[in-house]
Amino acid sequence: MNITEHSLTSANASTTTVTPIVFVVDDDASVREWLASLIRSAGAHPQLFSSAQEFLAVPRIHAPCCLLLDADLPDLSGLDLQQRVLDRTDMPIIFIADHGDISTTVKAMKAGAVEFLVKPFRNDSMRIAMRDAIERSRAALRHEAGMRVLQEHLAALTRREREVMDLVLSGWMNKQIAAELGISVITVKVHRGNMMRKMGADSFLDLVKIATRLSLMSMTKAENAAARPSTGRLTNKQDGLHASFSLACRLVTITGTVPAGFAPSLCCFPAERAIPHWSSVKETLWRVRRHKGFDRRPRRQTG
């Protein structure tokens, strides 16, 4: 297990052990108390509010949670409150209403509500809705925690290590990186090793996955790779495969296409063939290698 996986596992464990919180915003005291009893029976902790303003005054809590929101609140309505908290993706909203209004329901669901329940509703219906909402909240919190870990790793890189990482992700070979940065190949390998360790990447594919999550992979890098200085035909097999594999991963990630699988030798990438879209990468890799001169078969001399 690398450093990134260890950090993400710790973050995931924290989201599953914390008692979930269910916020209730309803101007009817009897409804609030009834929902509080139902929430406790589901193993969650209720927090009750009589108005949208009262809820907004409370600091944000980073824990698995969801919001039971009355659609017919006075002053600031349920739909208005929903718009105020759209950035809180870790807090799914379950609307409750005295009567079913198609227009209100459509607006709430389009804005991201996970459920719209009309009174009277069965207790089991609310328990199921809360359970699903809390699971969504846990997933959002895990994503946020994972992104924080990756961003911390990225911030730990030195300026030179970041430069090396950008060029590696663009498909540059060690020799080309050394020439571009004015350093030796050995120094490039040292920076590359330190960068991989800090980013928690055990393989080139791990680095591509991390860079994709951090939105570091873009068409700009693909264009940069295409414009890199030409040093003649690639003779280093591993660097050539890495360069083509980098472009293959980018194309599959960007286009999302899944062409019929062509199978180059799996020994080329023993660690990478376990990825979900390996068949897509194999096909793209074959096409890139064929058109960019990475084939091992020598070309026939003419003239």
140 and 189 in a single domain? The answer is: no
What CATH number does the domain containing 235 carry?
1.10.10.10
pLDDT digits (tens, 9 = 90+) for 78-111: 999 999 999 999 999 999 998 878 889 999 999 9
197 and 106 in a single domain? The answer is: no
Give residue 7's domain range: 3-148
214 and 130 in a single domain? The answer is: no
In a domain, 55, yes or no: yes
Among residues 148, 181, 216, the one where a domain terminates is 148
Across 190-211, average pLDDT? 93
**What is the structure's pLDDT at 101?**
83
Among residues 148, 166, 186, the one where a domain terminates is 148
Look at residue 129 and tell me whether its pLDDT is greater than 90. yes
**What is the structure's pLDDT at 171?**
86
**Which pair of tokens denotes residue 188?**
């490039």
Q: Strands (DSSP E) along the chain, which ranges? A: 21-25, 45-49, 65-70, 93-97, 115-118
141 and 168 in a single domain? The answer is: no
In a domain, 301, yes or no: no
In a domain, 302, yes or no: no
Q: What is the DSSP letter of 272?
A: G
Nearest 5°: phi and psi at 67? -125, 125
123 and 177 in a single domain? The answer is: no
Among residues 148, 179, 199, the one where a domain terminates is 148
CA distance 172 to 180: 10
52 and 104 in a single domain? The answer is: yes
CA distance 293 to 285: 12
Number of domains in the chain: 2
Pairing of the two strands 65-70 and 21-25: parallel
215 and 287 in a single domain? The answer is: yes
Torsion angle, alpha carbons of 201, 206, 209, 213, to 10:
-20
23 and 137 in a single domain? The answer is: yes
**What is the structure's pLDDT at 142?**
94
Look at residue 250 and tell me whether its pLDDT is greater than 80. no
90 and 216 in a single domain? The answer is: no
238 and 161 in a single domain? The answer is: yes
118 and 195 in a single domain? The answer is: no
186 and 103 in a single domain? The answer is: no
In a domain, 74, yes or no: yes
Scored b (16 or more CB within 10 A) or e, 269-288 reads beebeebeebbbbbbbbbbb
**What is the structure's pLDDT at 286?**
57
Look at residue 221 and tell me whether its pLDDT is greater than 70. no
CA angle, residues 238, 244, 246, in degrees to nearest 5: 100
